[in-house]
Amino acid sequence: MAYRCTNNLTRADATPRGLFLNRRQIMAGAGALGLGGLARPVGAQEALEPNSYEEITTYNNYYEFGTGKADPAKNAEALDTTDWQVTVDGLVDNPGTYPLAELIGGLAVEDRIYRLRCVEAWSMVVPWQGIELKDILDRAGVQSNARYVAFETAVQPENMPGVRRGVLDFPYVEGLRLDEAMHPLTIMATGLYDEPMPKQNGAPIRLVVPWKYGFKSIKSIVRISLVEEEPVTTWNSLAPSEYGFYANVNPTVDHPRWSQATERRIGGGLFSSRQDTLMYNGYDEVASLYEGMDLKAQF
């Protein structure tokens, strides 16, 4: 398959063409509802190549398998993904523990070429395959009092050296506000480069939220809970002054210990210059989710 190399994926890239055209027609009349943004190309269109499969699968953060960038590729083979089940609970009409095939069976798998911007100020471009989280949540039947979605990673101490050493307080947990979770850019990825999700990247299913720092994109998910209150999240609870709940990519809000204005593109070569970091990682279409919020205070 040929991957389109654009700075940002557009709905045209992500949606079968017929459906896209249909959406465009719908969008033509949808401006008054504030939905017009979905169908237009977003962000600058500077050409960008996806990183190589090798780069994407050998430079990782997955602390359950160690804190070094090369540790997950070395150690994650031990992750046991057989008979994977995901519990969906909390404020849903259809709670339960579902085999993965049942959780996502019949839902549309889409190609999404997304930038991934880590809070550590490096970035990649990854060609994911995945399902819009919204489709999974719609099937679960979100109840009207739900305001947030909480996620949890598997804990397999026998297979995870980082868990045995207690490098973080496991399970790794993350969360989104419900409107962020329902946004069409938010996917549950099950593969990359048309291969099943490599274990070091979060097999068999992980979250990808491209406008947020990478730590929000939690791997190897075993629980999705619809809740009323903002859930506890791993990095925020560890260092609240350094890692916010929202964690939107924002070049104007520095990490207390380093600038977020620029980033190092992985695979750019030793002498490549740093590139400017873009607000929302270039996904401007999410800006309306944060209207009226002080993004310096709620970073």
Residue ranges of the annotated binding site for Mo-molybdopterin are 60, 63-64, 118, 153, 201, 206, 217-219
Applying CB under 6 A, among 6, 75, 123, 201 the residue interacting with ligand MTE is: 201
Q: Rule CB under 6 A: is residue 132 a binding residue for ligand MTE?
A: no
Q: Rule CB under 6 A: is residue 64 a binding residue for ligand MTE?
A: yes
C-beta of 183 vs 206, nearer to ligand MTE: 206
Applying CB under 6 A, among 214, 231, 244, 282 the residue interacting with ligand MTE is: 214
Binding residues for ligand MTE, total number by CB under 6 A: 15
Q: Rule CB under 6 A: is residue 199 a binding residue for ligand MTE?
A: no
The residues pairing with 255 across neighbouring beta strands, listed in sequence order, are 258
Q: Rule CB under 6 A: is residue 223 a binding residue for ligand MTE?
A: no
Tokens 């009226």, located at residue? 292
Spatial contact of 209 and 179, defined as CB atoms under 8 Å apart: no
Q: Rule CB under 6 A: is residue 244 a binding residue for ligand MTE?
A: no
Applying CB under 6 A, among 60, 159, 236, 277 the residue interacting with ligand MTE is: 60
Q: Rule CB under 6 A: is residue 63 a binding residue for ligand MTE?
A: yes
Q: How far is the CB of 120 from ligand MTE (least distance, A)?
A: 7
Q: How far is the CB of 1 from ligand MTE (least distance, A)?
A: 20
Binding site for ligand MTE (CB under 6 A): 60-64, 116, 118, 153, 172, 201, 214-215, 217-219
